[in-house]
Structure 1
């Protein structure tokens, strides 16, 4: 309905008073209603307009209530921002005063060394926050800011409750990711898994959510379903905007192939099936070559498989692609520490310090470097620094446990390994925890821990080896028989597992079964590569077995083979010296010694 004034001058009211309804020179108004033009006076138009206004007031009453609540929140938000600005201005004035006062210089140096701590501004901002459910995206963002203030103050439960009161219709991808992180911090793994699954439905290519779900106990099928729903929704939205695009011509399964392989790789690693995980990562790497993220996962998996030489080459490839990479560099430092390569470890520590000193990997690397220089106390201090930056860095907890074991502090090692295993349940943490329990003479706890690993991975060689090594520490004859069965099964699954081999050899040596030991060690040397760093150890062990069999000629050959492969092998040198003394004391005949020395190839 449209009204227009056709002609006439500006109307003015008469002076007879309000009772007079007439207007001087009332103009004609043409109202366009459909196809007909209806002539109305201005008084009729005004009355109809007032009626429509009354009806509009009745309809917008709920909207006004909503606006009142929204304005209340905006006013409180401005108050919080004002508090923050006032405190910032006050801090700047205090800093100017401290600069002018010479007595505050020493105090300033101490304050500069201290890390940034949350101030009272976050608490004051929380006091001005809302206490009812959000009704819009803007109010939901305010609740997210409130949650971040609680998290900065260390109040993770309050931070979680601030996000929980947001309705599902206002939760964004970032909201679900923050909820997942907070649920993980407070130990609510089931809720964390649900939050990460919802995040995948909104962003199916989020790698961080995939990696987090692999550690929360979520089922692989649920993750696959969430990814399919997310990609289906995104492809549907894209097809709605671009209906004739060639991108939608392919099937959805083609889009899911890289993500599916990535999910299978992470969940295989969670099931302790590192070999299968490595295959998936390598297939992805062939499809996306020179991808630093995939190369880092490949190197980490190779470390867990014990293939440190290949892992070192993979880490070097990553650093050639991006020298500023920090992720998993503490694992690379672990390999360099194992090889006692001070130069490369020193160079790596300098590069990480230049890149960032606010990451735990940097300080773990410095801990390894300090340990090589013989400063164990400084190494533990650097590890504490790494954990102060990120208390959930499981690798730092595990390395701290290893250092405590080397310092003969098994009680402290138990706490470190237990914390590492609580954050991330991997075989390395389980092995360290069992070793710490055995060093603390807590045999029952060690057996229970080893059985927990078997229940999680019943056909894993390392899990069976862990159970066999634990049972071999018992004096019970029945327990040692069970240990032999477990270690034999572990070697059948993985013939290159050195720990299983040596533990089984020691059990046979207790029963004086030297022939079985010779057979096991010979088979182990055949399965290992010729340039493997473990070959000298096997030669030394075989020399000890032949010495027990009184086959001195073969014992001398294997001791010399061990020394030729590793001239610094102290065990081989010690075994050779004891054997020569034994042979001289028996008959004083050194012809065999001379014959072996002449035939030895150095």
Structure 2
């Protein structure tokens, strides 16, 4: 052959993919036009060129080369059993950029085709291709890939089987442990997959002691997956003591704290992670959600700026962008949320953010679909909260109550789930007694849960027990300087014409959180009342403002 194949291999091994694909054109041309070159040699050449294209992220071209290589294999005489045994998958990597060739291993080429389909988000085609590789011939990476594809396709039983095969080959595949836990496999069953004998050169005691942390990691993930967040945090805290400043464990702790409403602790842990590793992207959507809930626009803006510099193509970046624009331009925020889902449809917060925005846009029916999509990924309390709000907006009390009870069934020791059931009962005047019982139960379970305290205060006001509402809120304000408590208390005072007290608490709320829009609007309304102006009267230039707004060109470039 006029073009030396070993030079092509050398270029690929050195990551010089652009040069490799240029040289590959000569190599392919020489091999294909020569009648003396065997089909297997042609197939090798096509695979090499495919690897060059894959390295340049030209996945369609790589796919074409790999498929042509398989066609060459089919027209070639079948190899003997002896020669096939020499192509053991353990002798080479099955990466598209693996270039140590002695002959073609068709299973590895099929896997390269699978990886191309995955890169192009063609999951169905990827699954069909990788299923053609016999299970006994699959490498660790192949098992992990097919497990992910089965999970995306909702073939959960098959996914469990593949993830188990991963752990039988290597118990340290942590993403397989997490996946099995989320698919409902018990910690006992997961641990049974681990090797029960010591490795060569170690005593049984050394072996057991060295993987004790791994056992705790399994327990932690199974607790979290089954909504036993308290147990999960205990195991993760033990792991953190053994592995201080472990970014992965800190992120897991912060994520759980965010889910259960320990916002301040979660924010501290996310900030600690970013101080250790400023370029981390994992769970930064969760961190953005926390900053948004705290109305900390300055930190959220800084986070979005950082994420755009680190990786502007990640789904987490677009969730953060959506949250940044949520209060300024809902249509733009929605476009970002939808973009995050297109990038990674399994990112739960993308669906939750989308659902929240549809609620803000008064489209609760579409919000239900978004929250249901989030719920299919993970039975997270936030998806249930979104569903309940959506159903209540649609006046579907039966569906709202079913969703709230489902949340309580899944998380029986959750104060937030109890409060959610109370919210449904409170929406109907005949259910206020039941609502009060659920709110009080929620506060007994978690005395510091402010949302339940605020809901109970609102219920007192609705039932005309203003003094009870004031006493409850003042008691909580003594222990917690929270802007939402001051805002609610100010609203109660304003409703009873206690203007000076209302003014004091609106101002206190804005000192704590200058971005509190509810406090801003309440203060503006109160100041009008104190000046003897009707706060509900329309502004003089309101019509002119509307006309001006209509005259502005619409910004269609949301991204």
In 1, are the aligned partners of 2:254 and 2:266 still within 8 Å (CA)? yes
Asked if the contact 1:491/1:500 (under 8 Å) is kept, the reply is yes
Q: Distance in 1 between matches of 2:258 and 2:501?
A: 33
Structure 2 residue aligned with 1:566: 510
The reply on whether 1:532 has 2:482 as its aligned counterpart is yes
Residues 1:182 and 2:169 are matched in the alignment: no
How do 1:387-402 residues align onto structure 2 when only pairs under 5 Å count?
A: 387-402=341-356
Aligned CA distance change for structure 1 residues 199 and 447 (closer, same or farther; 3 Å): same
TM-score by length of 1: 0.67
Matches within 5 A, 1:17-28: none
Write the distance in 1 (CA, Å) between the matches of 2:45 and 2:447.
68
Deviation at residue 425 of structure 1 after TM alignment: 1.9
Residue 348 (str. 1) matches residue 303 (str. 2): yes
Contact 2:47 2:109 survives alignment (8 Å): no
Report matched runs for 1:23-102 at 5 Å. none
Structure 1 151/564 Cα, relative in aligned 2: closer, same or farther at 3 Å? closer
Structure 1 residues 139 and 333: CA distance shift in structure 2, 3 A: same
Selected match of 1:381 from 323, 326, 335: 335
Distance in 2, matches of 1:120 and 1:179, equals 23
Shift of 1:89: 11
Matched, 1:511 2:466: no
Higher relative contact order, structure no. (Cα contacts within 8 Å, ≥ 6 residues apart): 2
Structure 1 segment 388-467 matched on structure 2, within 5 A: 388-467=342-421
Give the distance between the partners of 2:459 and 2:486, measured in 1 at CA.
Answer: 21
Counterparts in 2 of 1:280 and 1:562: CA distance versus 1, 3 Å: farther
Cα displacement string for residues 193-232 of structure 1 (whole angstroms, at most 9, x for unaligned residues): 2222221222222221222223222223212322xx23x3
- CA deviations 1:227-261 (Å, max 9, x no partner) are xx23x35x3xx32xx3xxxx536354423331222
SS at match of 2:412: coil
Aligned counterpart in structure 1 of residue 60 of structure 2, from 108, 119, 123: 119
Check 1:75–1:184 CA distance in 2 against 1; reply closer, same or farther (3 A cut).
Answer: farther
TM-score by length of 2: 0.72
Verify the 8 A CA contact 1:563 1:572 in the aligned structure 2: no
Q: Residues 169 and 152 (structure 1 numbering): CA distance in 2 closer, same or farther, change over 3 Å? A: same
CA positional deviation for 1:342 = 4.1
Deviation by residue 1:457-484 (Cα, 9 ceiling, x = unmatched): 2222111111111222234x2x443333
RMSD: 3.6
1:247-286 residue CA offsets vs partner (Å, 9 max, x unmatched): 5363544233312222232232223333333332222212
Q: Secondary structure at the match of 1:214?
A: helix
Q: Secondary structure of the equivalent of 1:205? A: coil
State the match for 2:220 in structure 1.
265
Structure 1 residues 444 and 252, CA gap change in structure 2 (3 angstroms): same
SS in 2 for 1:119: helix
2:168 maps to 1:214: no
Residues in 2 aligned to 1:153 and 1:389: alpha-carbon distance in whole angstroms: 11
Does structure 1 residue 171 correspond to structure 2 residue 135? Answer: no
| Residue of structure 2 in register with 1:492 after alignment | 444
> What are the residue-to-residue correspondences of 1:157-168 with 2, within 5 Å?
157-168=124-135
* Paired residues of 1:521 and 1:542 also in contact (CA < 8 A): no
Q: How far apart are the structure 1 equivalents of 2:521 and 2:234?
A: 38
**Aligned mates of 1:89, 1:174 — CA distance in 2:** 21
Equivalent residues of 1:220, 1:267 under 8 A apart = yes
Distance of 2:311 and 2:527 partners within structure 1: 51
TM superposition shift of 1:452? 1.7
Contact 1:272/1:460 (8 A) holds in 2: no
Q: Quick check: 2:49–2:62 contact (8 Å CA) kept in 1?
A: no
Please give the alpha-carbon distance, in whole angstroms, between the structure 1 residues aligned to 2:413 and 2:213. 28
Larger Rg: 1
* 1:313 counterpart (260, 265, 268): 268
Q: CA–CA distance in 2 between the matches of 1:198 and 1:559?
A: 65
Instruction: Give per-residue Cα distances to partners, 1:33-91, cap 9 Å, x unaligned.
Output: xxxxxxxxxxxxxxxxxxxxxxxxxxxxxxxxxxxxxxxxx98776556557789999x
1:536 and 1:566 in contact (8 A); partners too: no
Judging changes above 3 Å, is the alpha-carbon distance between structure 1 residues 561 and 355 closer, same or farther for their aligned structure 2 residues? closer
CA–CA distance in structure 1, aligned partners of residues 531 and 321 of structure 2:
45
Give the CA deviation at 1:123: 5.9
Secondary structure of the 2:230 match is helix
Q: CA deviation at 1:182?
A: 0.6
Report if the CA contact (8 A) 1:300-1:331 is conserved: yes
The alignment of Structure 1 onto Structure 2 pairs a total of residues equal to 462
1:431, CA displacement in angstroms? 0.8
Shift, 1:561, TM fit: 4.1
Distance 2:44 2:371 in 1: 44
